Amino acid sequence: MEQYFAVRGAWRLAVCAIVAGACGLSTAGEKVVTSEAVGDGDASANESGGGGSGEASILDLADGGFYAGDDGAAGGQDSAPGTCDFAGTWGTLIQISVMWAPMGLNLQTFILAPGAGTIKQWVKGARVQHGTSLADTTVVCGIDLPDFQGTALVNMQTYGVVFPSSLFDNKYLPSFQVDATVTASAPGAGYSASASAALLGLTMANPTTDPWPSMVTTTTDPDMDGNPGVTIDVAQGGQYSYIPVGVPAIGTPVVTSDKLYVAIRQVTELAGTFTDCDHASGSVSIPQIDGAPAINSHILGCALTAGGNCTTSGSNSQASFVDNTQPVFTPTGTASFASLRLPDSATCATVREMLQ
């Protein structure tokens, strides 16, 4: 679903070896911190400069690292031997195993079959370190949701959604902060990040603790397309079907949608270990808020396959039908993260490319 960029050729490595500074490295192989740490993940939801070129400096080392020194040791910037400075730009892939069922207890319940799969979320953070405290200014760089299937009532059709790369690469989304602590500044240090919330298409006063609203009244339009929330595509081609927006009367065609306007919240807590100065991994927890896992979404509206937008007024609207038949995700106990240090010039496309 995501678009990826090809890894640089051997000539790029040769140039990096000759002109180390052009690749974000010192001549000793240590990381050089620049003022461009945030890159395409700034806090402005309205900045729309192009970003998805993937033109970051990439040293595709066998171990996936970027800042190994000449002696092969991990290279946190300006670190004494055996110590790490964790400040810099980091990419993270979060993977959450989930199961789902439709919302509501009515006819719509029989449209969506229960299922299971994995949610993937890529983020990029510009990190500062003060002692054992870390603070990341973070932006979402990609989302991949599992496909889901209808029941026999809709011929067991397969549905999927695609979050367009432009949503993340064009600096549309606002940043959020991730606060964490480390047990030491050395390889093997423990890492613990308190609850942080990624919000797409809405605002919330206290996103890590407030219950998910039954109706969103604080929508935003970060991708600036004139529709509420963020616009995602319904997967097309192959085994995929367009998403129905209602149950048709007998003898009438099914009305479907090819784009959805959505609002999303995902709250995560991370705990893990720095295996060296440039890599960390561990487990992810999804807190319960008001008795429900904090993986939430609403369908605010949709575009009809035949043209125009679906109806949104009232509980019997087409948007309400899609909202009530969407998957409601529940974590199944397996959730993990993997992080690695990136060049300060890294884009969201770099994060998606390097973390699979």
Mapping DSSP onto H, E and C, the string for 269-314 reads EEEEEEEECCEEEEEEECCEECCEECEEEEEEEEEECCCCECCCCC
Within a domain: residue 348? Answer: yes
Within a domain: residue 4? Answer: no
Within a domain: residue 86? Answer: yes
pLDDT given for residue 104 in this prediction: 58
Within a domain: residue 164? Answer: yes
Show the domain range for 63.
Answer: 10-354
Q: Any bridge partners for residue 234, and if so which? A: 161
Within a domain: residue 202? Answer: yes
CB 341 within 8 A of CB 29: no
Determine the Cα–Cα distance for residues 340 and 76; give it in Å rounded to an integer. Answer: 11
Within a domain: residue 242? Answer: yes
Within a domain: residue 2? Answer: no
Determine the Cα–Cα distance for residues 316 and 236; give it in Å rounded to an integer. Answer: 26
pLDDT given for residue 248 in this prediction: 86
Looking at the structure of the chain, the number of domains it has is 1
pLDDT along the chain (356 residues), means of 10: 35 33 34 38 37 34 38 43 92 97 64 93 98 98 96 90 97 96 97 98 98 97 97 97 91 95 98 98 97 97 98 94 91 95 98 97
Within a domain: residue 5? Answer: no
